[in-house]
Structure 1
Amino acid sequence: MQEEPYGEVFLINKPYEWTSFDVVKKVRNALKIKKVGHAGTLDPLATGLLIICAGKKTKSIDTYMAQEKEYTGTFVLGKTTESFDLEKEVVNVADPSHITLEEVKAAAAQLTGDIMQIPPMHSAIKVDGKRVYESARKGKEVKMEARPVTVSLFEITRFDNPEVHFKIVCSKGTYIRSLARDLGEILNVGAYMSALTRTRIGEFKLEEAAELNNLIAEIKARPHENL
């Protein structure tokens, strides 16, 4: 009787400062197979749910990537960075002390629904066959076209001026860093993202995810004859 080809899906809480590919590489080495990939990049400075597919389950990556995403995190008003997160140096823009919760909520409302969004220069999108972050790191300007995305929820969960704590539910391809930039522009004080956690992808929740070290230990303890 012929055995079914191996396939598995892992839900992982991506560690801070790890790239999504770092996690893929770690799982690939533990499984000792080549066919491993992730379903949706998380930036190194973000944490939270990362779906890793192995073996025949890699065919499902596009299906997982297309699903709705949920995030929580923090924006900081009055300052910005070249990458709109903490990857680049923070610079002052304007004093945000006059900004009210009502103004923040009104700005968030303008960024809710079907919107056109310009991705950040420091992103993995390809323009003319090259990833734009590679051009950005070389100091080259790349014209970024606005793309349609859907933000079905942009909730302000707490406002401790200058910190804006949020919960966002959005479609595939939405950049939370771009929402930080756009929120800062609407309020005329600038903003950047200081923290981000992905809490859900479709029906998969962060609470179901394994810590990476625990998962690797579990994989290494398995018999590998059937992989």
Structure 2
Amino acid sequence: MSRRNPKGRDINGIVLLDKDVGLSSNAALQKVKRLFFAKKAGHAGALDPLASGILPIFLGQATKVAQFLLEDDKRYFVRAKLGQMSDTGDCEGSIIKVQPFEHLNESEIISAATSFKGDILQIPPMYSALKRDGQPLYKLARQGIEVKREARPVTIYKMTYLGYENGILSLEVTCSTGTYIRTLIEDIGKKLGCGAHVVELRRTGFAHIDVSQTFKFSDLEALASDDYQALDEKILASETMLPNLEGVHLSETQSVDIKFGREVQTDKQGLLKVKLFDEKKQFLGIGQRQENGIIAPKRLFV
């Protein structure tokens, strides 16, 4: 396809990017958007420049399902340096405190790390995208301003100890959405009495996605061509990103009603979000089913 349309191509679907270290999530998004010459694009689950790993890129109308993927759990590989605290909680910041850690043995470290498994409370870090009065906290932090943050409940489903050598602790963490790994590492360091900060972070799992399913930008770049055919083969259908949602197939009449924003009656019960398909098995978007079987449109592709 030619590039006659200066606004880009109307393409829909998801590209599973393995973001490189050193790029912001938005920078990675813009590179993919330009490569695919997409008119519209967005991402789910921002990663810090320090972090690598799974960053789903949503093209076109697929951006409408991004919020539903955000609600799912994540998995991370993290390496932490014990004995040092930084102002950002990771190695991109300045070291603000150094404490002895050499006396710690492996069993103490494992015990401290695994003690955070389960439901815990976290205070979001100042270096985060959370906003206070419309201002991202990280911008306030850069001005030397610290504001009070309320502790938030998160869940650490699995904490796997991978090793400890020369002051570097390696873990694999499976957690709920909203979990800050930098804060988790800082809290482990506090429990050990020596402090800690993140030196490497990689998102290896996102909902049902494993990092082995992703593509490096360089891999995608190698597929670029004037007709976009090879690149487009890497785009996944939006509905495949929502395996945990039940699919509901509508009649022709019901499909028309849903497209016009009207509720439809089904014989299925239960309060939950569902994937909607028309009579030709084309994905229409997300609906909200009520207890009485009525489905209301929530996020549609029409």
Question: Which stretches of structure 1, 4 residues or more, deviate above 3 A after TM superposition?
Answer: 219-224
Tell me what 1:49 maps to: 54
Confirm or deny: 8 A CA contact 1:96 1:161 kept in the other structure: no
- Counterpart residue identity of residue 51, structure 2: A
Q: Aligned equivalents of 1:223 and 1:12: distance in 2?
A: 17
Question: 2: CA distance between counterparts of 1:157 and 1:30?
Answer: 37
**Equivalent position of 1:70 in the other structure:** 75
1:194 matched to 2:199: yes
Q: Kindly name which structure, 1 or 2, has the bigger radius of gyration based on alpha carbons.
A: 2
Shift in CA distance, 219/118, structure 1 to aligned 2, threshold 3 Å: farther
Matches within 5 A, 1:124-143: 124-143=129-148
Q: Distance in 1 between matches of 2:168 and 2:91?
A: 14
Of residues 159, 177, 182, the one that matches 1:177 is 182
Q: Does 1:27 align with 2:27?
A: no
TM-score by length of 1: 0.92
Whether the aligned pair in 1 keeps the contact of 2:36 and 2:228 (CA below 8 Å) is no
| CA distance in 2 between partners of 1:220 and 1:101 (Å) | 52
Determine helix, strand or coil for the equivalent of 1:88.
coil
Question: How much has 1:179 moved relative to structure 2?
Answer: 0.6
Correspondence list, 1:1-227, <5 A:
6-223=11-228
Q: Deviations over 1:36-74 (max 9, x none)?
A: 111101100111111110001101111111111011120
Letter aligned with residue 188 of structure 2: L
Q: In 2, Cα distance between the equivalents of 1:54 and 1:208?
A: 18
* CA distances 1:173-224 after superposition (whole Å, capped 9, x unpaired): 1010001110011111000000011001011111111111221343554349
User: Can you give the 5+ residue segments of structure 2 that lack an aligned partner in the other structure?
Assistant: 1-9, 233-302
Cα distance in 1 between the residues matched to 2:41 and 2:103: 49
| 1:159–1:218 CA distance, 2 compared to 1 (3 A) | same
Q: Quick check: 2:11–2:60 contact (8 Å CA) kept in 1? A: yes
Tell me how far apart the structure 1 counterparts of residues 158 and 195 of structure 2 sit (CA, whole Å): 21
Q: Distance in 1 between matches of 2:57 and 2:89?
A: 27
Give the match's secondary structure for 1:185: helix
Q: Give aligned-pair identity as a percent.
A: 35
Specify whether residues 130 and 157 from structure 1 end up closer, same or farther in structure 2 by C-alpha distance, changes over 3 A only: same
Amino acid at match of 1:138: Q
TM-score normalized by the length of structure 2: 0.70
Deviation at 1:161, TM superposition (A): 4.1
* Bigger mean CA offset, 67-76 vs 90-99: 90-99
The answer to whether the Cα contact below 8 Å between 1:8 and 1:56 also exists between their aligned partners in 2 is yes
| 3-state SS, counterpart of residue 218 of structure 1 | coil
Distance in 2 (CA, whole Å) between partners of 1:162 and 1:49 is 27
Distance 1:159 1:223, change over 3 A: closer
Instruction: Give 5+ residue unaligned stretches, structure 1.
Output: none
Q: Give distance in 2, aligned partners of 1:120 and 1:22.
A: 22
CA RMSD of aligned residues (A): 1.7
CA contact under 8 A between 2:11 and 2:38: conserved in structure 1?
A: no
Deviations 1:76-107 (A, max 9, x none): 11001001101111244211011111111221
The answer (yes or no) to whether the contact 2:11–2:39 under 8 Å persists in 1 is no
**Using the alignment, how far apart are the partners of 2:51 and 2:95 within structure 1?**
17
